[in-house]
Amino acid sequence: MPNKNGLELIVPTSITKTGTGSTATINTNGSVTCTSCTSLSLNGVFSSTYDNYQIVFSGVSGAASYIQCRWRASGTDNATASSYTDIWWYSVGASQGKNTGTQDHHYIIYNDASRSGFVGTIYGPNLAQRTVSRWSAVSMADNTVVYDFGGIHNQSTAYDGITFHGYIGIGQTFSGLFAVYGMRD
Amino acid sequence: MPLVGTKANAGASGLGFLSSIPGEELGGLVLMTPTSVDKTGTSATITTNGAVEFTACSSISLNGVFTSEYDNYKIVVRATCASQVSLQLRWRASGSDASGTNYTTQLVYVTPSSVAASRDIRNYHYLGYVSAAGYLGVTVDTYGPQIAASTHLRTISIMPYPGPEIWDEMETHSLATSYDGVTIYSSANWTGQIAVYGMND
> For A82, how many CA atoms within 13 A lie in the half-sphere containing its CB?
0
B178 band by pLDDT with thresholds 50, 70 and 90: very high
Q: Which positions ≥6 away from A110 have C-beta within 8 Å?
A: A64, A65, A66, A90, A137, A139, A141, A142, A145, A147
This prediction has a pTM of 0.91
Q: Which positions ≥6 away from B40 have C-beta within 8 Å?
A: B57, B58, B59, B185
Give the mean pLDDT of chain B: 89
Does B3 contact A52 at a Cβ distance shorter than 8 Å?
A: no
What pLDDT, on a 0 to 100 scale, did the predictor assign at position A176? 97
pLDDT tens-place string over residues B16-67: 344 334 445 568 999 999 999 999 999 999 999 999 999 999 999 999 999 9
Among partner residues A148, A152, A185, which is closest to B193 by beta-carbon distance?
A185
Most confident of B4-8, B17-21, B89-93: B89-93
pLDDT tens-place string over residues A133-181: 999 999 999 888 899 999 999 999 999 999 999 999 999 999 999 999 9
What is each CA distance from A31 to A12, A55, B67, B104, B156, in whole angstroms? 8, 10, 32, 39, 25
Nearest one of A164, A153, A160 to A182, comparing CA atoms:
A160
Among partner residues B18, B166, B193, which is closest to A148 by beta-carbon distance?
B166
For residue B91, pLDDT beyond 50: yes
pLDDT tens-place string over residues A117-127: 999 999 999 99
What residues of chain B, 94 to 133, have a C-beta less than 8 Å from chain A?
108, 110-112, 114-115
Instruction: List the domains of chain B with CATH numbers.
Output: 1-27 (no CATH), 32-199 (2.60.120)
pLDDT tens-place string over residues B120-164: 999 999 999 999 999 999 999 999 999 999 999 999 999 999 999
For residue A109, pLDDT beyond 80: yes
Instruction: List the domains of chain A with CATH numbers.
Output: 7-183 (2.60.120)
**Nearest-CA distance B5 → chain A (Å):** 5
Does B15 contact A121 at a Cβ distance shorter than 8 Å?
A: no
What pLDDT, on a 0 to 100 scale, did the predictor assign at position A113? 96
Among partner residues B3, B10, B166, which is closest to A150 by beta-carbon distance?
B166
